[in-house]
Amino acid sequence: MELLDNPVRAYAWGSRTVIAELLGQEVPSPHPQAELWFGAHPADPSRLVHEDGSHTSLLDALRADPERLLGTDRSGHWDATLPFLLKVLAADEPLSLQAHPSIEQARTGFAHEDAAGIPRDAADRNYRDANHKPELICALTEFHALVGFRTPEATVRLLRELEVPELAGHAELLAAQPDQDGLRALFTTWITLPQSMLDTLVPALQDGCIRLAGTGGEFHAEARTVLELSERYPGDAGVLAALLLNRVTLAPGEALYLPAGNLHAYLSGAGIELMANSDNVLRGGLTPKHVDVPELLRVLDFAAEPPPVLTGEPDGGWIRYDTPAKEFLLRRLADGDGGAVVAVPDGGPRILLCTAGSACVRAPGTELKITRGGSLWLAANETALSVQPLVEGTQLFLASDGLG
């Protein structure tokens, strides 16, 4: 097991406090810090910190000795690559509306864009690899998000309560077809409106949201969110699309699983994000970046289901967040009292992250201490490991693949 040195990604929507505090750096940070990456992503891999203080890129280490670090079975299954990417995500401002493709859609789209000669780093490229990108976000703080399509019946109530004349016809169309096809039709209508109509409709929606946000009724939180989005992205079709989505607030320790086709936007908060190692994103608004409406419509799932909130299952001292994804599995150890020794599950490569307190990590013949913000690479051949929280309130996250 070796300590990791991990890259910070600076995006405009990031926090100037969360990641800086986690790493013990100056607060506020000079620039917004949006994500802290742990893994072997080619764009910004973590570095192994050796006993002599030297560093080796985790990506280079995996390429040099995949069978030892990943395990013979995993190396073959994952084509000698680390299948997951772990992140600390810290959002002070909303991220774009987005969805991710299924594995079949990704393979088809990637091949099509390669055949068309679109450079893989082009701004209008949708598929930068042939992989899907399911993801899980586990809240570190109160975390707010828009996730998946709300039931048509509830959306009709919301549109009627807004009392915006320009939206009345849209509400009645959805009321006449309260199903996936009705949601698809309304979303398609809004996302393809000409800018001249958006410049009229979004301000009218703002007026309705101001009225509704002050009522304290069923949809006052949704109205406030749409109002905030409209102020940040005036005239953006994504503001209208946000009207169709579930608004979710996660408490610390709760998680959301986002499968292929789920339209979502993280609004604010800090969390641990674990995903398949892919860059494939189809955007739907609330961004100046490329929005490919036909391709977005091809991958979106318009099923109106309850948001997939997970609380986790007990697993030998850990809390385990099960998902259908085979590329990743997240476990959390919380409220360590400084006494209990907990086994670290074996099976493939793992990354251990400490977000609060400190812990002693033991392997046969050796041990390492990690403190808040610290992380460890645990190779597949390192087994019979254990952790012991050293202070009350210690919190650890363990990322692995989901093969079992």
Q: What are the residue numbers of the active site?
A: 283
Residue with structure tokens 């077809």? 177
Which residues partner with 264 through β-bridges?
98, 147
- Side-chain half-sphere CA neighbours of 142 within 13 A: 1
Torsion angles phi and psi, residue 402, rounded to 5: -105, 25
Query: Which amino acid appears at position 304 of this protein?
Result: A
CB 373 within 8 A of CB 23: yes
End-to-end CA distance of the chain: 20
- Hey, is 399 helix, strand or coil? strand
Distance CA 357, CA 367 (A): 17
Distance between CA 308 and CA 264 in Å, rounded?
12
- Who contacts 154 (Cβ-Cβ below 8 Å, separation ≥6)? none
Helix, strand, coil percentages, rounded to 5, for the chain:
30, 30, 40
Q: In angstroms, rounded to a whole number, what is the distance separating the alpha carbons of residues 292 and 101?
A: 13
Q: Cα-Cα-Cα-Cα dihedral of 22, 28, 33, 37, to 10°? A: -20
CA 283 from centre of chain: 14
Q: For residue 372, what is the DSSP state? A: T
